[in-house]
Chain A
C-alpha cells in the first residue's frame, strides 16, 4: 500500500511538474537559441536620450487622456446607471443599447468611426487627439455604466426603504445615501478599468493621436532605431502599469477593510 502511494506521488511529480517544466524550458530555450546576439549587441538605447522630452510628452498625453476620459466615463456611467433605475422603458432600452454597442465593438473601430464618420453626421471635424479622447470616454462610459449598475444594486434594500421612510427627497436619497455607497463599491473595478485603458490607449496610435505609442512610432521612423524605441515603450507601459496595478491592490485592500469595520 505504502509503495503504491509512493509510486503515485512519483507519477504525479512527473506529469504535473517535470513534464510542464521541461516543455516550458524547452520553449524558452528554442526562443533564446534563435536570438541573434551579434545584432543585439549593436543595440544603442543611449540614442533615445535625445528624444526624452518627446517621450515624456507622450507619456503625459497618455496619462491625461486616460485619466480625464475615465473620470468623465465615471460620471457618464453613473448617470446612465441612475437612468436605468428610473424604470422608464424607452430610456432603459436606449441606455442598454448604448452600453451593449460600445462594449461589443473594438475601440479601434469606434475611434475611426468617431474620427471619420461622425463629422459627416455632425459637420464638426475633430483632431485625432479629440477623437481619441471622445472614443475612450464613450467606451469607458459604457463599461462604467455596468459597474455603476452593479454598485447601485449591491446597496441593501433597507437603505432605500429607510430613505423613503424618512421622507427624504429623491435628490437627497440619490446624492447622499445611494451614490456615496455605490461609489465605494465601484472603486476597485473602476481602478481596474483605468489601468486597462492606460494599456489600451496604445491602440490610438493607429490614428496618430499623439500619446506614447504614437510618439514611439514617430521616433522609430525618424531615428531608424525601431527596436530600441518599441522596447523602451513596452518597458514604460510595463513599469507604469505595474505601479498602477499595485496601487489598485492597495486601494482594494483599504476599501475591503473599511467595509468589514462597519
Chain B
C-alpha cells in the first residue's frame, strides 16, 4: 500500500473533537493533580505527624504504580469495591491525576525548599505580614522555580492521556485507532495522530527546556 496524502490530510478534520477530549483530559487531570499536590506538599514539608506519614505513603504508592494498571483498576474494579460508578472519562481523569498528583507534590515541595531561607528571614525582618510574605516574596520565586517541572509534567500527562483510550474514552489515540481500523490506512492515520501529539507536546517541552536554562542562568 502506498502513502496517500489525501488520507493523511483528511484525517486532521476527523480528529477535532478527539483533540478537545484529550485537552479536557489533560486540563482536568492537571487541576486535580495540583490540588492533590498542594496537600501532599504540606505533608512532605512537615514530614512528621499523620499528614507527613500519609503524604509519604501516598507518594511512594502512586509513583510506583503504572498508569495502565490504575486505569484498569479504577474503571473495572472501582464500581465493585466502591459505592460509586464513574464514567470512563472520570475514571481516566482520576487515575491520571492520582499518579500526576504524587509528582506534583514533589515538584511543589522542591520549589518551596529552593527559595532561600534568607528571603523568609528578610521578609520577617521587614515586618511583612504572612499574606504578603507568601504572596509577594515566597510564591513568585517558588513558582518560577517550579515552572519548568510543571510544564514537563504537562507533557507527561499529555502522553499518558493516550492510555485512557484503553477504557474507551474517545481521545486522540482512540479516534486514530478506530479510524485506522475502519480504513486499514494505518500508516497515514497513525502518522497524522502522531503529528497532532507532537504539535501539542513539543512546544511545551521546548518551553520547559528554555525556562530551565534561563533559571540556571539567573540563579
Instruction: State which size class the interface on A falls in.
Output: 35 or more
> Which residue of chain A has its CB nearest to the CB of B159?
A106
Report yes or no: A230 in contact with B77, Cβ–Cβ below 8 A: yes
* A104, A110, A200, A217 interface centre (most CB from chain B within 10 Å): A104
Instruction: State which size class the interface on B falls in.
Output: 35 or more
Q: A20-B51, A113-B191, A116-B180 in contact; A227/B80 too (CB < 8 A)?
A: yes
CB distance from B51 to the nearest CB of A (A): 4
Report yes or no: A20 in contact with B162, Cβ–Cβ below 8 A: no
Report yes or no: A108 in contact with B173, Cβ–Cβ below 8 A: yes
Report yes or no: B186 in contact with A120, Cβ–Cβ below 8 A: yes
Residue from the list A36, A117, A201 in contact with B83, Cβ < 8 A? A36
A20 to B61, CA, bound (A): 20
> Which residue of chain A has its CB nearest to the CB of B46?
A17
Q: A17-B46, A112-B190 in contact; A105/B198 too (CB < 8 A)?
A: yes
Residue from the list B67, B155, B165 in contact with A104, Cβ < 8 A? B155
Which residues of chain A in 92-151 are interfacial with respect to chain B, using CB atoms and an 8 Å cutoff?
100-101, 103-110, 112-113, 116-117, 120-121
Report yes or no: B190 in contact with A117, Cβ–Cβ below 8 A: yes
CB distance from B195 to the nearest CB of A (A): 9
Report yes or no: A36 in contact with B81, Cβ–Cβ below 8 A: yes
Whether B143 is near chain A, meaning CB under 8 Å from some CB there, is no
Whether A21 is near chain B, meaning CB under 8 Å from some CB there, is yes
Q: A28-B54, A116-B190 in contact; A230/B76 too (CB < 8 A)?
A: yes
Interface SS majority for chain B:
helix
The proximity string for A residues 1-14 relative to B, scoring 1 for CB distances below 8 Å and 0 otherwise, is 00000001001100
Q: Which residues of B contact A (CB under 8 A)?
A: 1, 38-39, 42-43, 45-46, 49-51, 54-55, 60-61, 64-70, 72-73, 76-77, 80-84, 130, 155, 158-163, 165-166, 173, 176-177, 180, 186-187, 190-191, 193-194, 197-198, 201-202, 205
CB pairs A–B below 8 angstroms (20 shown): A23-B39, A36-B83, A100-B202, A106-B173, A107-B159, A109-B162, A109-B173, A112-B186, A113-B194, A120-B1, A199-B65, A199-B66, A202-B67, A206-B165, A213-B69, A227-B76, A227-B77, A233-B69, A237-B69, A245-B64
Q: Which residues of A contact B (CB under 8 A)?
A: 8, 11-12, 16-17, 20-21, 23-25, 27-28, 31, 34-36, 39-40, 100-101, 103-110, 112-113, 116-117, 120-121, 199-203, 205-206, 213, 216-217, 220, 226-227, 230-231, 233-234, 237-238, 241-242, 245
